[in-house]
């Protein structure tokens, strides 16, 4: 019997890229960056929290907060519901503890963190976060009710939870803001950006937002880090609560954390496309019309439309 013919390797079969060389060059680039920034990652350990892990954690937390609406399809009222909530919370909080450890360890560098102190701090953060969840659920209920009352197109509160991007964004924000207040700000920012990616609504976890908050439609809404929003506030799509200018330190770097975003008092409505910049105050019960550009405070009960807004020129990247 004749031996089978062996086909000679074709040049087409060989990949056109030099994979080994590229891997070597990427390693060299990483090492250069780490040397420049004095980074010495521990061998075999992850250096930063995982975006994928936090996405799964938030999904579980949403299910635990709203089991019959954001939980699994086969869940039932009663014992099955409580079992699901307990089991899911346990998984989510254990996974969150791992991510908190990573952030705390990263924050402690370049000095070598004390393992016992770090572990105690991580457990305390997750314990406080877990204890805050019942209050967050009640706070979110007020947001859902506000959306139902404020939108004639909504036929049930269930529709609000299941369908509205503004509600998804505020659920993420309430969770992220709690983490932010507990000192794990990188985790909080990742949670906020997960919602930003899926809804187009950008709420910094540092923003303080009162009860019964409603974002209608939502796409393009931006709420900055130091914004303060009162109770029963309603925003429409493409609203920006941003900074007018940035304080620069003596060495030329931007000052971090300075109050630079608006204060929006109770019962304010801001219509689509409005831009409010700087540490200004929008008085209680005011109405800010669509596409208004506002850089000054207004007293309670004001009605501001384009005809009454002032024109100002922004330079050198201000107004972001």
DSSP 3-state helix, strand, coil percentages of the chain (rounded to 5)? 45, 10, 45
- Each as own residue / partner, the long-range contacts of residues 299-302 (CB below 8 Å, 24 or more positions apart, any chain) are 300/265
Confidence band, pLDDT 50/70/90 cuts, at residue 12: low
Instruction: Give the model confidence (pLDDT) of 293-310 as tens digits.
Output: 999 999 999 999 986 655
Match 């024109």 to its residue by tokens: 311
Every domain of the chain with CATH number 2.160.10.10 lies at 220-313
User: Which residues are CB-neighbours of 170 under 8 A, at least 6 positions away?
Assistant: 140, 143, 203, 209, 213, 215
Q: Residues 223-267: pLDDT tens digits?
A: 999 999 999 999 999 999 999 987 777 777 877 888 999 999 999
Pair of tokens at residue 219: 């796409």
Position 196 pLDDT exceeds 60: yes
Residues carrying CATH 1.10.3130.10, the chain? 48-200
- Class level of CATH domain 220-313: mainly beta
Helix (H) or strand (E) holding 80: helix 79-108
pLDDT of the residue at 40:
66
Mean pLDDT of 168-187: 98
pTM of the model: 0.86
pLDDT at 249: 78
Residues 6+ apart with CB under 8 A from 239: 220, 221, 222, 270, 271, 272, 273, 274, 275, 276
**CATH code linked to domain 48-200:** 1.10.3130.10
């Amino acid at each position: 019997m004749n031996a089978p013919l062996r086909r000679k390797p074709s040049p087409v079969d060989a990949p056109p890229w030099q994979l080994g060389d590229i891997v070597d060059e990427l390693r060299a680039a990483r090492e250069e960056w780490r040397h420049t920034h004095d980074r010495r990652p521990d061998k075999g350990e992850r250096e930063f929290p995982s975006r994928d892990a936090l996405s799964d954690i938030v999904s579980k937390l949403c299910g635990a907060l709203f089991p019959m609406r954001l939980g699994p399809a086969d869940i039932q009222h009663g014992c099955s519901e409580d079992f699901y909530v307990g089991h899911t919370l346990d998984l989510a909080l254990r996974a969150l503890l791992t991510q908190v450890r990573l952030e705390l360890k990263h924050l402690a560098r370049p000095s070598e963190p004390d393992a016992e102190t770090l572990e105690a701090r991580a457990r305390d953060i997750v314990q406080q976060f877990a204890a805050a969840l019942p209050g967050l659920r009640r706070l979110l209920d007020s947001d859902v009710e506000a959306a139902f009352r404020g939108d004639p197109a909504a036929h049930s509160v269930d529709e609000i939870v299941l369908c509205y991007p503004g509600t998804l964004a505020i659920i993420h924000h309430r969770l992220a803001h709690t983490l932010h207040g507990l000192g794990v700000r990188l985790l909080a920012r990742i949670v906020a950006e997960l919602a930003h990616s899926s809804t187009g609504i950008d709420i910094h976890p540092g923003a303080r937002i009162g009860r019964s908050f409603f974002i209608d439609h939502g796409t393009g809404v931006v709420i900055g880090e130091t914004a303060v929003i009162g109770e029963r506030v309603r925003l429409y799509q493409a609203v920006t609560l941003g900074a007018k200018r940035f304080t620069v330190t003596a060495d030329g770097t931007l000052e971090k954390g300075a109050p630079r975003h608006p204060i929006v008092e109770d019962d304010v409505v801001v219509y689509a496309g409005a831009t409010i910049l700087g540490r200004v105050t929008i008085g209680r019960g005011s109405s800010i019309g669509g596409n208004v550009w506002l850089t000054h405070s207004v007293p309670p009960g004001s009605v501001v439309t384009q005809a009454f807004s002032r024109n100002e020129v922004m330079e050198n990247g201000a107004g972001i």
